[in-house]
A and B are shown apart, each in its own frame.
Chain A
Amino acid sequence: MTDALVNIENLSRVFDVSKPWLNRVLEREEKKHLIAVNDVSFNIRKGETFALVGESGSGKSTIAKLIVGLIKPSGGQITFDGTNVATQGSASMRQLRSRFQMIFQDPFASLNPRWRVKEIIAEPVRTFGLEGNNMNWENRVDQLLEIVGMSSRDGAKFPHEFSGGQRQRIAIARALSAQPEFIVCDEPTSALDVSVQAQILNLMRDLQDEFGLTYLFISHDLSVVRHMASRIGVLYLGRLVEVAEGKTLFKDPKHPYTKMLLDAVPDLEMTGRQRQPVEGEIPNPIDPPSGCTFHPRCALANTRCKSENPSLTLHGTTETACFAVEDGRTSV
């Protein structure tokens, strides 16, 4: 697609989780690898919110870190606005890097407790040399604080003087200060109470409209994702199992895992719907099942699912990696 801002192709990341060399020799063990991200491809279009959902250990945060370059991929490509991120030299990477920012989950850990708020917010401005003349950055900080709904007086305070929601606002102001086009949000509201979460989600939407931002939104909370995302990718054990438009995914989920996940969300509407009891748990990623990694928990699994690994194919507007969907099976 031409209007893709970020393009991820066959991205993989393997972590070496082996015991130390001597133990391996003594205990005659092989090296162990954890495939955190396995052959993931998707693209994020300009101005949209692409969400990644999945349970713990599905590789959501690893993908976020790969995209912003906090860890290096083991394979595959990340292209940002036409340039390959991995092959950039440090100078051009630095330039590119100023165009995307990240917001982290825990606003208590992501702000330096010894810095004043204005210093925290101004850091990207100064690092990337965007301040123009030096007199200006304080004005810029005041402006940013107002944009995220705080007062310019708050700039002189320290992070500990603020509540979780306000800290997350500061983290957002910091992310905005470099005037990025793309922001990776890794569980931005899961440390917050619901009423504060609503404030932050509304703020993020307003900012998107105002500055034309593109978001990669990572969350385990399906209702939050539904509220925020225009397109959604569902991850299971490091693989994308389904990519769909936000509304389609919730109305017409294709992959059995997506169906199970949606079914498990507590029902606030109290419709008293009959729920399919959830079977089993996410397997150990060090020793994943053969074939489709979901087959031990899947009601539709047949022998092919146990040996072969499905890849993403298009069904309507939804991309799904499932043999049962491909064959149109609804029973074994």
Chain B
Amino acid sequence: MSDVLLSVQDLVVEFPTRKGILTAVDRISFDISRGEVLGVVGESGAGKSMTGSAIIGLIEPPGHIAGGSISLAGERIDNLPRDAMRKVRGKRIGMVFQDPLTSLNPLYTIAEQLIETIRTHMKLSESAARARAIELLDEVGIPAASRRIDDYPHQFSGGMRQRVVIALALCAEPELIIADEPTTALDVSVQSQIIDVLKRLCSEHRTAVMLITHDMGVIAEAADRVAVLYAGRVAEIGPVKDVIKDAKHPYTKGLMGSIPTLMQDSDRLTQIPGSMPRLTDIPPGCAFSPRCPKAFARCFIEQPGCKVHDGRDVACMLYDEGTAL
């Protein structure tokens, strides 16, 4: 794609422990263009959130980026000094986390938190910042924003709090928003409202969104492209429609089959035997090989790289050239 905003190349995140080095993110590569929503799905421990944290430079020590590069609009941001990174974070990359209650300070009103954030990143007077704050709350769909702005977080419901968090992320008109499980703590009816807000903002402001979630349904509704992660590696990246309707990687296929749907009747769900390996004992070769119904000898020895196949990237030996099916 031409208008690439964020480019992650061969990102590796490692955690040194007493038992050796744990690789939480293992050579992940993807791009996000302006105005695009990239969904990142995977089960717990697949490295979804870790990838998000790596991009905003907030990996908890002793974890660190051990390889690869992250570039925002062509500039490397993974090796910036802390002060420079602080200016990127919040200003150019906004963040929305899972639990809206812990992302907001309970002791300050919404107005104080918004105005502080706005004035950190923009040269605005107190009153201009307040006006902008009200505008932002309006934009994310909080009714009677000018009155509610002086409320404390506990006076808002869960869905409204998540809207406030989105407004906070939007303060400095970021180019990229990283939304880490933004709807997981919310009920379905509220979830669909929040997804609508994110989608609308994305198209109106040409903001790129990295939407991290474990819920394939949310991805289907909101994302343009999707990256499926497994054990810290990319299994498949492609347009949402292709990946959902016609998954290539055996893991994605299993994952899609295991989701009960509202439309189809099925007596049994497809199940993937076993569970995702812990980071301490990732099998050699393809990480999915012990659970894969189609695994053959090579899968247990060699680690597959991402290959373009049928309009998407798949990391699977089945689609490697020279392998007889």
The answer to whether B271 and A55 have CB atoms under 8 Å apart is no
A194 to B256, CA, bound (A): 9
- Contacting residues, chain A, for B43 (C-beta < 8 A): 193-196
Q: Which of B159, B192, B193 has the most CB of A within 10 A?
A: B192
B220: interface (CB < 8 Å): yes
Partner of B260, one of A166, A193, A226, A262: A226
- Contacting residues, chain A, for B270 (C-beta < 8 A): 198
Residues of B in contact, count (CB < 8 Å): 45
A153-188 Cβ-contact flags toward B at 8 Å (1 or 0):
000000000011110000000000000000000000
Flag the segment in B9-17, B65-73, B91-99, B238-246 that touches A.
Answer: B238-246
- Contacting residues, chain B, for A267 (C-beta < 8 A): 217, 220-221, 262
A210: interface (CB < 8 Å): no
The answer to whether B192 and A201 have CB atoms under 8 Å apart is no
A247 to B189, CA, bound (A): 21
A206 to B242, CA, bound (A): 33
Partner of B192, one of A197, A247, A250, A264: A264
A282 to B160, CA, bound (A): 12
Given known A-B contacts A194-B255, A205-B268, A227-B269, A269 and B189 have beta carbons under 8 A apart: no
B265-278 Cβ-contact flags toward A at 8 Å (1 or 0):
11111111001100
The answer to whether A250 and B262 have CB atoms under 8 Å apart is yes
Chain A contact residues, majority secondary structure: helix
The answer to whether B272 and A195 have CB atoms under 8 Å apart is yes
The answer to whether A282 and B275 have CB atoms under 8 Å apart is no
The closest CB in chain A to the CB of B157 belongs to: A281
- Contacting residues, chain A, for B260 (C-beta < 8 A): 198, 201, 223-224, 226-227
- Contacting residues, chain B, for A265 (C-beta < 8 A): 188, 217, 262
- Contacting residues, chain A, for B158 (C-beta < 8 A): 56
A237-249 Cβ-contact flags toward B at 8 Å (1 or 0):
0000000000100
A205 to B267, CA, bound (A): 9
Partner of A268, one of B159, B214, B244, B272: B244
A270 to B222, CA, bound (A): 11
A294-310 Cβ-contact flags toward B at 8 Å (1 or 0):
00000000000000000
How far apart are B317's CB and chain A's nearest CB, in angstroms?
21
A85: interface (CB < 8 Å): no
The answer to whether A269 and B261 have CB atoms under 8 Å apart is yes
Given known A-B contacts A264-B192, A266-B218, A268-B217, A198 and B271 have beta carbons under 8 A apart: yes
A202: interface (CB < 8 Å): yes
Given known A-B contacts A223-B260, A223-B262, A227-B260, A261 and B188 have beta carbons under 8 A apart: yes
The answer to whether A165 and B221 have CB atoms under 8 Å apart is no
The answer to whether A226 and B262 have CB atoms under 8 Å apart is yes
Instruction: Tell me the chain A residues, 215-259 only, with Cβ under 8 Å from chain B.
Output: 220, 222-224, 226-227, 247, 250
Partner of A194, one of B190, B220, B258, B268: B258
Given known A-B contacts A165-B275, A269-B263, A197 and B189 have beta carbons under 8 A apart: no
Partner of B275, one of A163, A223, A226, A250: A163
B184-223 Cβ-contact flags toward A at 8 Å (1 or 0):
0001111111011000000000000000001111101100
The answer to whether B269 and A193 have CB atoms under 8 Å apart is no
A196 to B254, CA, bound (A): 11
Given known A-B contacts A269-B263, A270-B244, A201 and B221 have beta carbons under 8 A apart: no
The closest CB in chain B to the CB of A205 belongs to: B268
How far apart are A296's CB and chain B's nearest CB, in angstroms?
13
The closest CB in chain B to the CB of A260 belongs to: B189
Q: Which of B157, B158, B188, B214 has the most CB of A within 10 A?
A: B188
A112: interface (CB < 8 Å): no
The answer to whether B191 and A264 have CB atoms under 8 Å apart is yes
B58: interface (CB < 8 Å): no
The answer to whether A270 and B191 have CB atoms under 8 Å apart is no
The closest CB in chain B to the CB of A228 belongs to: B260
The closest CB in chain A to the CB of B187 belongs to: A55
A205 to B190, CA, bound (A): 30
Listed A/B pairs (10) with beta-carbon separation below 8 Å: A55-B187, A198-B272, A199-B271, A202-B268, A222-B262, A223-B260, A261-B189, A265-B188, A265-B262, A266-B218
- Interface residues of chain A, those whose CB is within 8 Å of chain B, are 55-56, 163-166, 193-199, 201-202, 205, 220, 222-224, 226-227, 247, 250, 260-270, 275, 277-278, 281-282
